[in-house]
Structure 1
Amino acid sequence: YIARDDEYQCPAGERAIYRYTSEEHGLQLRRYWSSACSQCAIKSQCTPSVQRRISRWEHESVLEAVQRRLDRTPDAMTIRRRTVEHVFGTFKHWMGYTHFLTRRLPNVGTEMSLNVLAYNL
């Protein structure tokens, strides 16, 4: 992906340009493709269809930035997992490991909220 031009570059060097935006499952997806696919010498290695179409979510750059950050510090998720698991372990210990003391979703929600409030205090 070439952010400056809002285009993709294929392995053959052609540019896949922005064509249109569509919405799928509440996500705005931008569609890209090149008109040069039909004459491409390496088309058989790329796609069996007429053209290679690429979809890009409107917030894909955020995911790419997070991935770059994770690549720089591979231990970050391990440390984060440990930090969060401690909290859930404490809750499970307080609540008896296996069950809530109340029944029905509104009551269970209240019980969990009280546990979270007590933990934060």
Structure 2
Amino acid sequence: QQLQKRFARVEGGKLISVYFNQKACSACPSRPLCTAGKEKRIRRWEHEAVLDAMERRLQAMPEAMAVRPCTVEHVFGTIKGWMGATHFRTRGLKHVATEASLAILAYNMKRAIAVAGVASTLKAIAG
């Protein structure tokens, strides 16, 4: 049987849906291992399917995490070094996201200049 959505509420800024099926749980021989209540409540974040899909992709390609240190960790380390290796200077998600975006833009510009040269980069920016 399928679980029935009973209610949803916002917790910590996230929409959490609560599902349970009392009929299936009451007939289940494993219920004492699962829950002490009448039914097991399953709580799911509205975007949890995205996390599940990512987990499936990772299980299908475990070598992907081995590539990560070679590709992105150096970038984050470099940006962190530029920023003083401590913390963001702004407060609030909107401001921190802007600060991070500017740091990433600066990193990408510096890499473009290093790879293509100043003249080619300026020509590409000008269109």
TM value normalised by structure 1: 0.60
CA-based RMSD of the aligned residues comes to 3.0
1:19-69 Cα deviation digits (max 9, x unpaired): 111110111111101122345443212211232100011111111111111
What residue in structure 2 maps to residue 75 of structure 1? Answer: 63
- 2:49 partner letter: S
Take 1:35 and 1:60, find their aligned partners in 2: how far apart are those partners? 23
What residue in structure 2 maps to residue 7 of structure 1? Answer: none
What residue in structure 1 maps to residue 14 of structure 2? Answer: 27
Unaligned runs of 5+ in 2: 91-98, 114-127
Take 2:69 and 2:3, find their aligned partners in 1: how far apart are those partners? 39
CA shift for structure 1 position 70: 0.7
CA shift for structure 1 position 90: 5.2
Take 1:115 and 1:55, find their aligned partners in 2: how far apart are those partners? 41
What residue in structure 2 maps to residue 118 of structure 1? Answer: 110
**Relative to 1, partners in 2 of residues 1:92 and 1:120: Cα closer, same or farther, differing over 3 Å?**
farther
Take 1:88 and 1:39, find their aligned partners in 2: how far apart are those partners? 52
Take 2:49 and 2:112, find their aligned partners in 1: how far apart are those partners? 34
**Relative to 1, partners in 2 of residues 1:118 and 1:68: Cα closer, same or farther, differing over 3 Å?**
same
How many residue pairs get aligned? The number is: 96
Take 2:34 and 2:80, find their aligned partners in 1: how far apart are those partners? 51
What residue in structure 1 maps to residue 49 of structure 2? Answer: 61
Q: Which has the higher helix share?
A: 2
CA contact (8 A) 1:91 1:115 kept: no
Alignment of 1:1-121 (within 5 A): 14-36=1-23, 37-38=25-26, 40-88=28-76, 100=84, 105=89, 113=103, 116=107, 117-121=109-113
1:97-119 Cα deviation digits (max 9, x unpaired): xx94xxxx48xx7xx94963434
